[in-house]
Amino acid sequence: MTNFRAALSLMIMLPLSVLAQKNTVSEQDQTLRINQIQVIGSHNSYHSGIAPSERKLIEQQNPKAMRALDYAHAPLADQLTGGVRQLEIDIYADSKGGRYSHPAIVGKVAEAGLPADPDFDPQHEMDKPGFKVMHVMDVDQRSSCHTFIACLTTIRGWSQQHPQHLPIFILVETKQGREGSAPQAHTPEPFTSETFDALDAEIRSVFSSDEMIAPDQVRGSYDTLLEAVQSTSPASSASSKKTGGWPTLSDSRGKVIFLMDQRNVGPVYIQGHASLRGRLIFTNAAPGSPDAAFTEENDGTKAEIDVLARQGYLIRTRTDDGTEAARTNDHTRADIALSSGAQMLSTDYPSSEPSRWTGFFVGLPHGLAARCNPITAPPGCVDSLLEPSMK
């Protein structure tokens, strides 16, 4: 009888403990905002590596460049399962299709007498109109998803399977210029205001409005995004009846938020859309400008980043680049980034993809997908209530 009572008591207590945890998560979600967390991101998340003959050719012609390109990521869904919550996608405009179907490096490999590499686009996705995903045209074109829509569809599919995930930050880099001395045979299509209209349209073709955190939502009833994000910053003490500011986690779970990588394309994207009215992507804005809600500080100091975080900005920074830290297992830059108020820490080596040289990786303590931001999170914030351990 004693064993029966103990078992019965345990059966009653377990559901109650689960319910209590759900209530605790819900309570924290009601007050904690998305600028008060910290997550790990992957740099060039689509990058699937360099094929053998292409690698050999680049090593012969520019060994320093090949050294920096010597990394590869798992497919996007696998990265998300591994705990990455910020993805970076580089895109080239291709309104008519076929502009990048025949990379120059394929011909260079043949001219050098090297064995042909596997076809990078066996399904001929590059022939169709729409934004294409790759690192450097004509040189480094192998991606786990060749089109922007394909990448977004993968992300949305994972999101629907994990509806309680924290918001996924999607960094978009628009490519439209030559890169170094690479043997580029094609001219990239420029990004005009009309091109950006088409980019927004592609996003809307995959994600519905209630699946995104967009500038209009964050601006709310404020005149500018700057005013809105500052209203919910740790430094703000003023109370307001206006709507807007960064949303709470309860309003953000299961959603995505789009961010622009380069600052120089912001003015074109904003044309006719003051403070990003009607747009979907937050620009990488200069702090203090009307559209300033997100900014990059890839080489910023901890002090500079922390000041911006306290002012309410979303911030992305880098923890490593060019594979150098991964080769020497140097965590200096990563440790500084982890201690800062940057919400997104971007690496070539998330914890699910350690460096093959030294095992170097960048991750949050205890294998968490997110933690309370070390600078902006309020007292009492509990890491374990954000997302479960990925390990």
Q: How many Å apart are CA 198 and CA 268, to the nearest integer?
A: 13
Q: Checking DSSP bridges between strand 86-92 and strand 294-296, what pairing results, if any?
A: unpaired
Q: How many Å apart are CA 372 and CA 386, to the nearest integer?
A: 8
Q: How many Å apart are CA 172 and CA 187, to the nearest integer?
A: 20
The pLDDT assigned to 183 comes to 58
Does 184 or 10 have the greater pLDDT score?
184
Q: How confident is the model at residue 241 (pLDDT cuts 50, 70, 90)?
A: confident
The pLDDT assigned to 18 comes to 45
Q: How many Å apart are CA 297 and CA 291, to the nearest integer?
A: 17
pLDDT tens, 355-379? 999 999 999 999 999 999 999 999 9
* Stretch 136-157: mean pLDDT: 98
Question: In 211-288, where does DSSP find H-type helix?
Answer: 215-219, 225-231, 266-270
Q: How many Å apart are CA 223 and CA 323, to the nearest integer?
A: 43
The pLDDT assigned to 21 comes to 54
What mean pLDDT is reported for the chain?
A: 93
Q: How many Å apart are CA 93 and CA 200, to the nearest integer?
A: 12
pLDDT tens, 68-79? 999 999 999 999
Does 1 or 66 have the greater pLDDT score?
66
Q: How confident is the model at residue 15 (pLDDT cuts 50, 70, 90)?
A: low
Q: How many Å apart are CA 351 and CA 84, to the nearest integer?
A: 9
Residue 131 DSSP symbol: -
The pLDDT assigned to 232 comes to 81
The pLDDT assigned to 185 comes to 75
Does 185 or 79 have the greater pLDDT score?
79
Cα four-point dihedral sign 128, 132, 133, 138: positive
Q: What is the identity of the amino acid at 119?
A: D
Residue 115 DSSP symbol: P
Residue 119 DSSP symbol: P
Question: Does position 16 have pLDDT exceeding 50, yes or no?
Answer: no
Backbone angles phi, psi at 101, to 5 degrees: -70, -20
pLDDT tens, 307-353? 999 999 999 999 999 999 999 999 999 999 999 999 999 999 999 99
Query: Distance between alpha carbon 267 and the CA centroid of its chain, in Å?
Result: 22
* Stretch 240-257: mean pLDDT: 94
Query: Rounded to two decimals, what is the model's pTM?
Result: 0.92
* Stretch 236-252: mean pLDDT: 85
Beta bridge pairs of residue 133: 91
The reply to whether CATH 1.20.1640 applies to domain 34-385 is no
The pLDDT assigned to 224 comes to 97
Q: How many Å apart are CA 46 and CA 276, to the nearest integer?
A: 27
* Stretch 197-209: mean pLDDT: 99
| Lowest mean pLDDT segment, chosen from 71-75, 169-173, 232-236, 312-316 | 232-236
Category of 365 on φ-ψ map: left (φ > 0), alpha (ψ -120 to 50) or beta: beta
The pLDDT assigned to 177 comes to 76
Contacts of 254 (CB under 8 A, 6+ apart): 159, 162, 163, 164, 165, 211
Q: How confident is the model at residue 19 (pLDDT cuts 50, 70, 90)?
A: very low
69-74 LR contacts (CB < 8 Å, sep 24+): 69/135, 69/140, 70/323, 71/47, 71/323, 71/326, 71/348, 71/349, 72/47, 72/48, 73/42, 73/44, 73/45, 73/46, 73/47, 73/48, 73/144, 73/353, 74/144, 74/352, 74/353
Closest alpha carbon to 371 in 36, 73, 123 = 36
